[in-house]
Amino acid sequence: MLRFFHQLGSPKHFYRIAGAWIPWLAAACGVLVLYGLYQGMVVAPTDYQQGDSYRIMFIHVPSAWMSLFIYVVMAAAGAIGLIWHMKLAEVIAISSAPIGASFTFLALITGSIWGKPMWGTWWVWDARLTSELILLFLYLGVMALYSAVDDKRTAARAAAILAIVGVVNIPIIHYSVEWWNTLHQGPTVTKFGAPSIDLRMLIPLLVMAVAFKLFYLLVVLMRARVEVLERERNARWVRELVERS
Amino acid sequence: MNLQAFFHMGGYAVYVWSSYAIALVVLVANILAPLRQRRRLLRQLARRQRRERRQP
């Protein structure tokens, strides 16, 4: 086990192991998405208040969860890279940013499209929506900062510091619906006690949440492999790999 | 199951399907971006290595 992690720290082995995982992750993710969509779009009943519009939830809520989850992973990986100078952690942090930005964008846009028929407006400047928008700007800031500096290691360090500072936004987003009055509904799944949601709605929601987690894992490994190749371009194993391709 | 009712989404078709369409585009773009970057990088590195072989 220890040897496995040690090998994972070396770029060459990471590239190989991640490459072996990618097709399996893609297959598992694809199966879960299809199953989740079937359960969510066909099996789950119509909501008694929101009609069929609530089916946007099956992408909106997992996207919003992922936007927070990926940010925490990115900041943690950035911190590990800063403290222990672990190159692979830097790579994971930087590869996470565009995926997190994508999910944040999806959470915002699908929330907006859901808000129009339910709230009567595309957007309100309330705590939940505003803090989620700030999250998008944090992701974009991390990406911009990383690409603005030529030296990759300095760039990764600067981006990691920004990511770590931005972590204060995460609890604000999570608790915003409880701390402030808002149009956004409160949590129905993570609150204590039984979730106040029909099981036939809860199952596809959780399946989609797992599918999105796998999707993140898949794409972050794909991105990290490219980033590793680029950083190790002068290493012998990369030269040999280029010769063979 | 009634296919027409499925696409109608109880009158919310525009909202539901546009959400799913946007999600599909964003997720597919996330898959394609690293594939394209990898191809481009490998081509670039191959060019560099050929250049180096010609003038060591």
Q: Do A208 and A57 form a contact (C-beta atoms < 8 A)? A: no
Residue A156: count of CB within 10 angstroms of its CB: 24
Say whether pLDDT at A91 is over 60.
Answer: yes
Q: Do A180 and A174 form a contact (C-beta atoms < 8 A)? A: no
Which residues of A lie closer than 8 Å to B, measured between beta carbons?
41-42, 46, 51-53, 55-56, 59-60, 63, 98-99, 102, 105-106, 109-110, 113-114, 116-117, 215, 218-219, 222-223, 225-226, 229-230, 233, 238-239, 242-243, 245
> Alpha helices of chain A — where are they, by DSSP H?
2-9, 11-38, 57-84, 87-119, 127-148, 152-165, 169-179, 199-231, 236-244
Report chain A residues whose CB lies below 8 A from the CB of B27. Answer: 102, 215
pLDDT band at A195 (very low <50, low <70, confident <90, very high): low
**Amino acid letter, A103:** F
Q: Do A107 and A132 form a contact (C-beta atoms < 8 A)? A: yes
Q: Quote the pLDDT of residue A60.
A: 95
Q: Quote the pLDDT of residue A239.
A: 93
User: What does DSSP assign to residue A44?
Assistant: S
List the single residue in B with minimal CA-CA distance to A109.
Answer: B19
Say whether pLDDT at A160 is over 70.
Answer: yes
Per the structure, the count of domains in chain B is 1
Instruction: Tell me which of A25-39, A137-151, A161-175, A196-210 is least confident.
Output: A196-210
CA gap A128, A185 in Å, rounded = 10
Residue pLDDT, tens place only, A131-154: 999 999 999 999 999 999 989 889
Q: Mutual orientation of helices A87-119 and A57-84 as an angle, nearest 10°?
A: 160
Coil, helix or strand at residue A47: strand
Q: Do A53 and A117 form a contact (C-beta atoms < 8 A)? A: yes
Q: Quote the pLDDT of residue A118.
A: 85
CA distance A169 to chain B (A): 24
Q: Quote the pLDDT of residue A170.
A: 92
Which residues of B lie closer than 8 Å to A, measured between beta carbons?
1, 6, 9-12, 15-16, 18-20, 22-23, 26-27, 29-31, 33-35, 37-38, 41-42, 45-46, 49
CA distance A103 to chain B (A): 9
B34·A223 Cβ contact <8 A: yes
List the single residue in B with minimal CA-CA distance to A238.
Answer: B45
Instruction: Output the average pLDDT for chain A.
Output: 90
Residue A86: count of CB within 10 angstroms of its CB: 14
Q: What is the mean pLDDT of residues B11-15?
A: 86
Q: Quote the pLDDT of residue A53.
A: 87
CA distance A78 to chain B (A): 21
- Sign of CA pseudo-dihedral A74, A78, A84, A86: positive
Nearest alpha-carbon partner for A131 in A67, A76, A48, A85: A67
A222·B23 Cβ contact <8 A: no
Q: Do A22 and A69 form a contact (C-beta atoms < 8 A)? A: no
Residue pLDDT, tens place only, A11-46: 899 999 999 999 999 999 999 999 999 998 888 888
A102·B19 Cβ contact <8 A: no
List the domain range (segments joined by +) for residue B48: 3-54
Which one is predicted more confidently, B12 or A227?
A227
CA distance B55 to chain A (A): 17
